[in-house]
Structure formats: C-alpha cells, structure tokens
C-alpha cells in the first residue's frame, strides 16, 4: 500500500508525496476540491474502510481555511488509481524477457502520455527502475522528444534490489549508454543516407540527481527527493504516489491525478524549479555538447 491523501469534510483533499515519517525529504502537495473528492472517498471506502471506521464522527472539523497560499486553478483533474498486485512476476535475470506491467489506469495513462508527447517530457521520481518507463523514454527520444529526468542516486538501495533486481544508478547508466548508441546510429544513417526517413534530430536527454544544498545551514535541508511528478509538453501534469520504479508499476497500490492545463503546469514547474535551485547535479546532458 502506497497512496497518501487527506480528505477534509468531504469537500477538499490534500494529495502529498510524503509519508508520515521522520525523513527530511524533498516533497510536494496539491489541494483539490470539487467532484474528484468523492472519487478519493470512494477509493478509500472500497479498499480500506472497516466497520470501525464507519462509527467515527468528527464533530469539530479541522479548520484549514488558511492552508492554501493561492486559490486553486479551475482545472478538471482525472483520477488514476493503480491497484495492488500479489503476483509481481519478478524476473531478476537480464536474459529473461520483461513482463508487461499491469494495465492499471495510472500505468496506462503514463505510457500513453509519454507516447503522445510532441515536444517534451519531464520526470521527477525517487527511483527509476521500471523497464516500461525506460523503454517509453527511449522511444520518445527516437521521435525527437526532449526528455529531462531528475531522480536519486542512492535512495532505498536494498529495496530496489529486492523489488527490481537492480538500482536506479545502474538503470540511469544503461539509459545513457543506449541513448549514446542511438545517437551514433542516427549520425551514421544521416551521413550515409540523408533521405532515409530518420527523424532530423534525436530528442535531447538530460539526467540529473537530487542533492542537498552544499552551503545550506538549515537543519531541515532535504537529503533526498521524494516528489513524483510527470510533465508532458508543459500541459499535462501527473502527481501522486506512483514512483517510476518496478515496485510501483507492478506490485504496490498507487494513486495518481492528471491535470490538463498549461497554466497549472507552468505554476507547478516554476514552483518546483525554484525549490530545486542548488539541489540538482547534472550527470548527463546531450545538449551541452
């Protein structure tokens, strides 16, 4: 179980990326209201509500009138649940074919959104070990789509090995190696046969690791990034609990929400970029020459 959300008075829902834990991590939260709140409530009732919960009453609702610094934009979100799977079909050896991920609403939406991208894809994820995601990223790059990824170099290493048989840093190295190979193939084909039908340019790939600010004196300086964010063409935003790792894609119960709004995407990107200033270490940037 991995979803995190807080429903207040059945009128508002807060969707954070954080766990209820002690870690000092880089997190995010979005407040939602309207019809989508009922979908969160129904999700909880279907999966987690017990007979004891039904007797709980809150006569003095929590006052969160000042929780939001700015009013929410008028955006219609899409609820994207991803149910738990008991059979992970784990294949730990590199020569074994990768099984297809469960066709949950969240998994399917992410793959289709990346496949339909026309300009850019931005992915921020704590870990990156889901082969379907890595494959979709390479396909997008082949189609001339620019891809930027921000992840963690060393976060929950033991958990990654147990659930995926690999680590984020290993998957990042393989992604960069395959990208360079495709880059060489594109260059050779374009030189030998300019009219071969190959796209005029391979999409740019940028991969970065989150790091704490070196000169920070703040005792609460985040040491890892735990935010889960996907941006497509600066218009589609996906937030929630789902990582781009194998556990989230195959075994964990997750929850995501998609938004279609350029203004909301711009606000999210601006807020995240500002918070990440001084906390990003670029490990590969094809556009840097």
Q: Which residues does 84 contact at the CB level (< 8 Å), separation at least 6?
A: 1, 251, 252, 253
Residues whose CB is less than 8 angstroms from the CB of residue 12 and which lie 6 or more positions away in sequence, other chains included: 31, 32, 33, 37, 64
Rounded distance, CA 110 to CA 257, Å? 11
Q: What pLDDT, on the 0 to 100 scale, is given for residue 24?
A: 76
Whether 7 maps to a domain, the answer reads no
134-148, 182-196, 211-225, 257-271: range with lowest mean pLDDT: 182-196
Give domain status of residue 209, yes or no: yes
CA-CA distance, 147 to 35, in Å (whole number)? 33
**The pLDDT value given to residue 199:** 54
Say if CB 203 and CB 145 are below 8 A apart: yes
pLDDT of residue 61: 38
The pLDDT mean for the chain works out to 80
CATH code for the domain in which residue 158 is found: 3.30.870.10
Cα–Cα distance for residue pair 128/151, rounded to 1 Å: 7
Residue 287, exposed/middle/buried by CB under 10 A (0-12, 13-18, 19+)?
exposed
> pLDDT tens-digit profile of 61-111?
334 344 444 544 566 788 888 876 655 555 555 545 677 888 889 999 999
The per-residue pLDDT for range 248-286, each reduced to its tens digit, is 888 888 888 999 999 999 999 999 999 999 999 999 999
The count of other CB atoms within 10 Å of the CB of residue 119 is 12
What's the domain count of the chain?
1
Helix (H) or strand (E) holding 46: helix 36-47
The Cα–Cα gap between 27 and 42 comes to 26
Instruction: Report if residue 49 sits inside a domain.
Output: no
In a domain, 221, yes or no: yes
Residue 149 has phi, psi (to 5 degrees) of: -125, 130
pTM over 0.75: yes
Does some domain include residue 225? yes
pLDDT over 60 (residue 153): yes
Please count the other Cβ atoms lying within 10 Å of the Cβ belonging to residue 270: 10
Q: Is residue 1 a part of any domain in this protein?
A: no
| pLDDT score, position 56 | 36
3-state secondary structure of 140: helix
Provide the residue range defining the domain that includes 252: 82-288
Whether 198 is covered by a domain: the verdict is: yes
> CB-hemisphere CA count at 13 Å for 247?
21
Tokens of 20: 């209820």
Q: Is 243 domain-assigned?
A: yes
């Amino acid at each position: 179980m991995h979803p995190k959300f807080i429903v207040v008075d059945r009128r508002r829902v807060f969707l954070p990326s954080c766990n209820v834990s002690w870690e000092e991590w880089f997190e995010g939260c979005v407040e939602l209201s309207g019809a989508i709140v009922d979908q969160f409530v129904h999700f909880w009732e279907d999966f987690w509500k017990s007979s004891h919960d039904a007797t709980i009453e809150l006569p003095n609702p929590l006052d969160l009138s000042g929780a939001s610094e700015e009013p929410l934009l008028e955006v219609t979100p899409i609820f994207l649940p991803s149910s738990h799977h008991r059979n992970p079909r784990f294949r730990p050896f590199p020569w074994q074919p990768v099984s297809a991920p469960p066709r949950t609403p969240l998994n399917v939406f992410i793959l289709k959104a990346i496949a339909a991208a026309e300009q850019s894809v931005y992915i921020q994820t704590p870990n990156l070990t889901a082969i379907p995601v890595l494959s979709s990223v390479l396909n997008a790059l082949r189609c001339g789509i620019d891809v930027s990824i921000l992840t963690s170099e060393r976060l929950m290493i033991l958990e990654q090995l147990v659930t995926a048989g690999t680590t984020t840093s290993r998957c990042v190295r393989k992604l960069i190696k395959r990208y360079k190979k495709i880059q060489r193939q594109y260059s050779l084909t374009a030189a030998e046969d300019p009219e071969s039908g190959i796209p005029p340019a391979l999409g740019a790939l940028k991969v970065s690791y989150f790091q704490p600010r070196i000169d920070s004196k703040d005792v609460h300086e985040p040491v890892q990034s735990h935010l889960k964010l996907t941006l497509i063409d600066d218009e589609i935003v996906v937030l929630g609990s789902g990582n781009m790792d194998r556990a989230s894609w195959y075994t964990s119960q997750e929850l995501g929400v998609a938004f279609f709004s350029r203004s909301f995407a711009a606000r999210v990107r601006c807020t995240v970029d500002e918070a990440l200033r001084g906390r990003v270490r670029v490990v590969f940037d094809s556009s840097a020459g």
